């Protein structure tokens, strides 16, 4: 069941004209009036159901447009408290004298801190120290809200772990790495959504759907840099096709050590499965409990499934690449050269061997190639120089070189003679350097989008048990991202 249903969704209102866009639903929806952004909102409060209202006057120092000094804030706070809202948001660092001056403990107070000056983990500890210094009557009767800017996805979870034991809490993060703070099973009192585009805040209608559905499917992608990823758009189409409510998150993690820390937290807070991308496809193999045959034979995984405390690892890069090759009638070729020797290269080499290819691998150093499993290396040929291979049918770029379109892997390893096709497993909104070079020579060329689609479809079927109708869904997705 969806335990989010106890968490209210608050729509942020910074313009009185937007009020008509909110539907009232017996108190499940809250309205945050951002009086600091539009003081005229106070004129809209008369006759409004105040048991659904959060009144906020955010200071400029904490991300708003209100006054910073208590002396200037006091008159406005006195007006707001008279409305007797569901919650009144006051700032820990500057508004506590107001509580001491007024008998407002019977009111529903929200004591907040917005700290973007350091990591969320460090800032949350400072916030907790300040809270614990308050009289016990505060700690037992008010809601505490902390908002920060995470350095990576783990940073938010560590902040949440610091503050989750507060009796009533809201712990939110801004930016892409903060989306999980609004969607996952975190026992929050409420979360914020926006009626219009606001940086780092999800749309109100998306959150409302997640928080009122009976069951959600939470998925994601983990890697070091993910801003270019097209995976969310694919899985959004899959979720709609399967008639499932859910969300696909991007979890950026800065180091292998932090990767190890975040995996059990993702499982604990309701993530069903994640894809894995550069540079963690090999590291997650060590962290998994169960591995399929392809993972064992390549030492690389791109898909994890969480079941209780167990992590199962799969390699759908292999099956996705094979499906793409079959669709494009490339499996009939015989000789292939792979430029690069990372986790993706392992998977592609394994897939090509399975299809009966003679496979050559070129990398500027042999160190990464030496990390290939011995059982796989026995079936491959390592090229020590760009002059060793004179002829091949298929050229595959498994490096990031050329993603920006201004360079090409052919600068490192030129096209051999006799090429039929070239594949760049990278993809972007523009043509990659490899594809530009292939077009100059009349060589059929493909980027990584179709492989990406098929590996995503295989992963989705592993996580959900759904069978997807791939042809129509891929056509829909390619059309969508080309707009």
Catalytic residues: 281
Q: What is the dihedral of CA 399, 404, 407, 409, to 10 degrees?
A: 20
Beta bridge partners, 220, equal 249, 274
Label residues 73-111 b or e (16+ Cβ within 10 Å = b): bbebbeebbebebbbbbbbbbbbbebbeeeebeebbbbb
CA distance 275 to 302: 5
Query: Is the Cβ–Cβ distance between 302 and 281 less than 8 Å?
Result: yes
Per-residue tokens: 260: 């190890």
3-class DSSP state of 461: helix
Q: Which letter does DSSP use for residue 415 in this model?
A: P
Structure tokens given for 477 = 């997705």
CA atoms within 13 A on the CB side of 27: 7
d(CA 394, CA 422): 6
CA gyration radius, the chain: 26
Whether the CB-CB separation of 376 and 298 falls below 8 Å is answered with: yes
Helix residue ranges, H only, 64-146: 70-81, 96-101, 120-132, 136-141
Rounded CA-CA distance 161/107 in Å is: 28
End-to-end alpha carbon distance in the chain: 37
If you ran DSSP here, which 8-state letter would residue 44 be given?
A: G
How far is Cα 6 from Cα 28, in angstroms, rounded to an integer?
9
Q: How far apart are CA 304 and CA 313, in angstroms?
A: 5
Query: Are the C-beta atoms of 394 and 419 separated by less than 8 Å?
Result: yes
Distance of CA 250 to the CA centre of its chain: 1
């Amino acid at each position: 069941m969806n335990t989010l249903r106890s968490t209210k969704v608050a729509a942020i209102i910074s313009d009185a004209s937007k009020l008509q866009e909110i539907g009232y639903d017996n108190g499940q929806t809250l309205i945050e009036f951002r009086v600091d952004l539009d003081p005229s909102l106070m004129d809209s409060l008369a006759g409004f159901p105040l048991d659904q209202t959060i009144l906020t006057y955010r200071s400029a120092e904490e991300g708003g447009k209100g006054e910073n000094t208590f002396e200037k804030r006091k008159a406005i706070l006195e007006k707001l408290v008279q409305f007797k809202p569901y919650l009144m948001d006051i700032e820990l660092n500057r508004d506590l004298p107001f509580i001491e001056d007024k008998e407002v403990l019977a009111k529903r107070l929200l004591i907040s801190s917005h700290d973007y000056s350091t990591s969320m983990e460090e800032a949350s500890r400072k916030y907790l120290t300040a809270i614990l210094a308050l009289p016990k009557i505060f700690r037992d009767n008010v809601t505490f809200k902390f908002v920060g800017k995470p350095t990576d996805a783990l940073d938010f979870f560590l902040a949440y772990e610091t503050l989750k034991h507060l009796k009533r809490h809201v712990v939110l993060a801004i930016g892409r790495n903060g989306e999980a703070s609004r969607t996952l099973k975190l026992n929050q009192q409420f979360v914020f959504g926006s009626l219009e585009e606001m940086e780092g805040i999800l749309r109100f209608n998306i959150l409302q759907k997640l928080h009122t559905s009976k069951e959600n499917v939470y998925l994601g992608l983990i890697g070091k840099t993910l801003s270019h990823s097209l995976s969310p758009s694919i899985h959004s189409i899959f979720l709609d096709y399967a008639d499932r409510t859910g969300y696909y998150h991007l979890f950026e993690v800065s180091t292998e050590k932090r990767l190890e820390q975040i995996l059990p937290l993702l499982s604990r807070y309701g993530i069903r499965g994640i894809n894995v991308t550069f540079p963690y496809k090999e590291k997650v193999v060590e962290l998994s409990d169960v591995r399929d045959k392809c993972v064992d034979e390549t030492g690389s995984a791109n898909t994890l499934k969480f079941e209780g405390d167990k992590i199962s690892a799969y390699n759908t890069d292999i099956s996705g690449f094979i499906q793409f090759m079959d669709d494009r009638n490339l499996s009939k070729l015989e000789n292939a050269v792979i430029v690069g020797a990372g986790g993706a290269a392992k998977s592609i080499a394994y897939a090509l061997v399975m299809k009966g290819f003679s496979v050559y691998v070129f990398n500027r150093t042999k160190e990464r190639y030496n990390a290939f499993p011995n059982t796989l290396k026995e079936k491959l040929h390592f090229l020590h120089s760009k002059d060793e291979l004179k002829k091949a049918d298929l050229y595959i770029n498994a490096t990031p070189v050329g993603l920006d379109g201004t360079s090409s892997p052919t600068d490192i390893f030129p096209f051999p003679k006799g090429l039929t096709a070239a594949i760049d497993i990278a993809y972007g909104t523009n043509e990659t350097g490899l594809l530009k070079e292939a077009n100059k020579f009349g060589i059929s060329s493909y980027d990584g989008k179709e492989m990406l689609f098929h590996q995503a479809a295989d992963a989705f079927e592993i996580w959900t048990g759904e069978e997807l109708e791939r042809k129509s869904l891929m056509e829909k997705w390619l059309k969508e991202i080309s707009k």
